[in-house]
Structure 1
Amino acid sequence: MTPPLDAPAAPPSHRVAAALDVAVKTFLVLLLVGLVLRPDLGNLEGKGATERAIAYPLLSFALPAWWWLRGRGRTDFPWIADLLISITCFSDLLGNRLDLYDTVRRFDDVVHLVNTGLLTAAFLMLTLPRRSTRGQHLERALAFGATAALAWELAEYAAFLATSQASDRYADTLGDMALGVVGSAGAALLVHRARDARPAAATQRRPAAQHEHIAV
């Protein structure tokens, strides 16, 4: 998939996103190391700890790996999109580490709503041109969000639900998927609003000789 190439030069806010992204990734790695060394402290017994320890590093470092292999030198690194992806991995591990899933009512619902929205926002930033319409944002967000929500539920089942004795705790699968779709729609509206709010002149500053930039 070739990213759209119509974005202006990276604004100063990207430096803030870069610092936050590095910090989140650092804490994510620390949590993963702790999970490997002391799995009993992660509150992930019977919850697919091994699968998370494998999947989260792959997901959180996929975009940097892609940029290093294909975009480096011709595109600016999409720090904001990468930060959103990193947060989804970090928040789930942190929530389990603090035992929020079992002690805070509706925490699981909030995670499904927000994290699917964050992933959808990142996907839109990376794949959809900045001047796309609200309808185009919603269309792609719903396609991605519904697929991501379904994939998460299938991954949960494959990882631990099929053999777990606590399967009744996950009878709200359809609710989780619905929250994921709602979060995706909300992300589409927010991304479109943020892009539409930028001065039109900002999207026309780039001379033809400048490097290309990934849309954010």
Structure 2
Amino acid sequence: MVALAYPDLSNLKAKGAGLRLVVYPLGALAVPVWWWLRGRRRQARGFPWAADLLVTLPWLSDLTGNRLNFFDTVTWWDDVSHFAHWLLLTAGVLLAWHPGRRIGAGVVVMVALGFGATAALVWELGEYEAFLRDLPTYAYVYPDTLGDLTLGTSGSLLAGVLVALGRRSRPPAHP
């Protein structure tokens, strides 16, 4: 949180630090809040630790990547981050959203694509609003945004396939 509060010290200057200061903690709290609101006492399973870890890791990774200046010094870091972050986030959401009834792998993959593509679009719109539209190199930004959306959606697709395959290998849970 210190890195977000002091953007000059964390390579976040002019990269939407104020918006990240609000969004990152909310993202990290999404699974605990969802679990609490959903009625934690009614759930047969305990707290979804794996889902919470998967949803929290992208926020931590992005902050760490910025702190270590990887986004500005490692040419491939942004692309790998978009793919990996949406893979982790989507897998976490899929694991947290665990309906009591068995659903098909195709539905899991479609939900992953729907969530991942929407979340990637919202992220890119946030980046644009926070800092990209003021860049003098705007001609570079548009192709980067399209690439980021493609990579984020691809990561979500892979998360859907992996979660669907993982669900097939285990017997269905009985609520």
TM-score by length of 2: 0.88
Residue among 131, 151, 168 paired with 1:179: 151
Which is higher, the Rg of structure 1 or of structure 2?
Answer: 1
| CA displacement at 1:128 relative to structure 2 | 4.7
| CA displacement at 1:67 relative to structure 2 | 2.4
Alignment-derived partner of residue 108 in structure 2: 137
**Distance (Å, rounded) in 2 between the aligned partners of 1:167 and 1:69:** 42
| CA displacement at 1:53 relative to structure 2 | 0.9
**Distance (Å, rounded) in 2 between the aligned partners of 1:101 and 1:83:** 23
Alignment-derived partner of residue 87 in structure 1: 57
Residue among 150, 153, 160 paired with 2:124: 153
Alignment-derived partner of residue 74 in structure 1: 42
Number of aligned residue pairs: 171
Please give the secondary structure, in 2, of the residue aligned with 1:47: coil
Note if 1:167 corresponds to 2:138.
yes
**Distance (Å, rounded) in 2 between the aligned partners of 1:166 and 1:42:** 22
Residue among 27, 43, 49 paired with 1:59: 27
Q: List per-residue Cα deviations over 1:79-136 (Å, max 9, x = no partner).
A: 1111111101000000000001111121100111011111111222233547322211
**Distance (Å, rounded) in 2 between the aligned partners of 1:49 and 1:34:** 9
Aligned ranges 1:93-132 → 2 under 5 Å: 93-129=63-99, 131-132=102-103
| CA displacement at 1:176 relative to structure 2 | 0.7
* Structure 1: unaligned runs, 5 residues or longer: 1-31, 207-211
**Distance (Å, rounded) in 2 between the aligned partners of 1:131 and 1:194:** 13
| CA displacement at 1:167 relative to structure 2 | 3.2
**Distance (Å, rounded) in 1 between the aligned partners of 2:115 and 2:4:** 30
Q: Percent identity?
A: 50
Alignment-derived partner of residue 8 in structure 2: 40
Pairwise CA RMSD: 1.8
* Structure 2: unaligned runs, 5 residues or longer: none
Conserved in 2, the CA contact under 8 Å of 1:46 and 1:164?
Answer: no
Q: One-letter code of the match for 2:118?
A: T
Change (3 A) 1:161 1:123: same
**Distance (Å, rounded) in 2 between the aligned partners of 1:142 and 1:66:** 21
TM-score by length of 1: 0.73
